[in-house]
Every structure is written in structure tokens, then in C-alpha cells.
Amino acid sequence: MSSDAIPVLTIDGPSGSGKGTISRLVAEHLGWHLLDSGAIYRAVGYAAGMAGIDLTDAEAVTRMAESAKIAFRAARDGGDTRVIVNGHDATDELRTETAGAAASAIAAYPALRAALFDKQRGFRKAPGLVADGRDMGTVIFPDAPYKVFLTASAEERARRRYKQLKDKGLNVTLAALLREIQARDERDATRAVAPLRPADDALTIDTTGIPVERVVAAVLAVVRRA
């Protein structure tokens, strides 16, 4: 099968919109591969930080993106997928809001986004791919047959992130998270290259107050309807 014939479902949206959870469940349900593109931006920020690179140095960060070895590995206990950066399991470090903010800052560099283009397209493998991010439906897989954009109110997104981070034992406050999430969304949505926005042909689903299983069913319906 040529890679263009392999189906892709893109799931874009702001942080805390439920993309991660929904993408994982939908991919499991369909038996498709999963691309967590945000984890790639987080991993590049992390690798650059470890190498002592100044994150405002777009060229050096881009070179790091080209050379860093980023791998996803299924967890042995059936838990979250592990993200291995240059041989080190960085999964826990990558979850923090600091890692998210660093990822968002470097994600504005056009050269970095260009360097990650082919890497992300390489995830398109049979029998199909669920691609989670900000520009999956607009830039990376504009030809995807199925596109969804998930949103939720900023307050609800902050509450979800709060619960996720607390469950993982991280020390956060709801008010600080709400501020950080709003700042990150503002930056992601207003950057010049590949800003956060729904593709023209995406179905937007507002997940505020909607249980996970209903959102999963709505997203699966997009694939089944075709």
C-alpha cells in the first residue's frame, strides 16, 4: 500500500482538550498507530536543555531536533507509552508544564517545524494512524480523510490538566495552571507558522462536560461514517 492510501485520523486542539486520552483510546479501538506530536516537541526541548542549549537559539535547537534520537516504546505494564530521548527514559520529565511551555516556545521556530516534518509523516503506517497535535490536519496530514478538532473551556482544560498532574504526583495549583494554559494557547494560536486552528474540513467537538466515552464514540463515528 502506498503511504498516501493509508488512512489517517487527525485530532488537533489546545492543551487539556482531551486530545491525548481520546487519541489513545481511539487508536486502541481501531488498532491503528498513534503519533503524539506534542511529545516530539517536548522531547526536543528536553534534549536541548540537557545539552545546555539556549532555547532562544533557534538554529541550535533545530540542529538538536535533527540529531536527537527520540523513540516511543510501549510500557511493559500497559501504562503510558514511554518516550526515550537519547537513550534516557524522559517520560516523567516531559509531562511537566515546564516541558510543555518550553515545547510551545520552540514550536514557533519555522526551521524546527520543517526539520520535524518528515519525522512525523513517517508515522503513517498500515493499517492506519491517529495523529494528535496542533497542525496535524492543517500542515502535516492535510490530505487525511478524517479530521477532528477538540476544544473545551479554558477552566475545564485547566481542571483536567490539574487532575492529570496531581494523579502523577506533581505539585501544581489550579490558578497557576489556568494562567499557563491560557498563555500557551495564545502563543500556539498566534504564531506565524502552523498556528493552532481547525482545518477547514475538520469536525469541531466541544468536550466541555462530555464524558470521555461519548467523545470517543463521536470521533469513531467520523471514521465509520466514511
Question: What residues make contact with ligand DC under the rule CB under 6 A?
Answer: 15, 37-39, 41-42, 100, 103-104, 107, 133-135, 184, 188
- Select 204 or 224, whichever has its Cβ closest to ligand DC: 204
d(CA 66, CA 29): 33
Q: What is the number of the residue whose Cβ is closest to ligand DC?
A: 38
- Cell triple for 44: 526536543
Min CB(88)–ligand DC separation in Å: 18
> Phi and psi at residue 18, in whole multiples of 5°?
100, 5
Residues 6+ apart with CB under 8 A from 9: 26, 30, 32, 128, 129, 130, 131, 144, 146, 147, 148, 219, 222, 223
- Cell triple for 199: 482545518
| Partners of 119 in the β-ladder | none
Min CB(188)–ligand DC separation in Å: 5
Min CB(19)–ligand DC separation in Å: 7
Residues 6+ apart with CB under 8 A from 217: none
Q: Is 182 exposed, middle or buried (0-12, 13-18, 19+ CB in 10 A)?
A: middle
- Select 18 or 38, whichever has its Cβ closest to ligand DC: 38
- Select 128 or 133, whichever has its Cβ closest to ligand DC: 133
Is 164 in contact with 18 (CB distance < 8 Å)? no
Min CB(16)–ligand DC separation in Å: 8
Min CB(168)–ligand DC separation in Å: 14
Min CB(191)–ligand DC separation in Å: 8
- Select 30 or 196, whichever has its Cβ closest to ligand DC: 196
- Select 91 or 104, whichever has its Cβ closest to ligand DC: 104
- Select 15 or 91, whichever has its Cβ closest to ligand DC: 15
- Select 100 or 128, whichever has its Cβ closest to ligand DC: 100
- Per DSSP, helices labelled H in the chain are 19-30, 37-50, 58-67, 91-94, 97-106, 110-121, 154-167, 174-190, 212-225
Min CB(198)–ligand DC separation in Å: 13
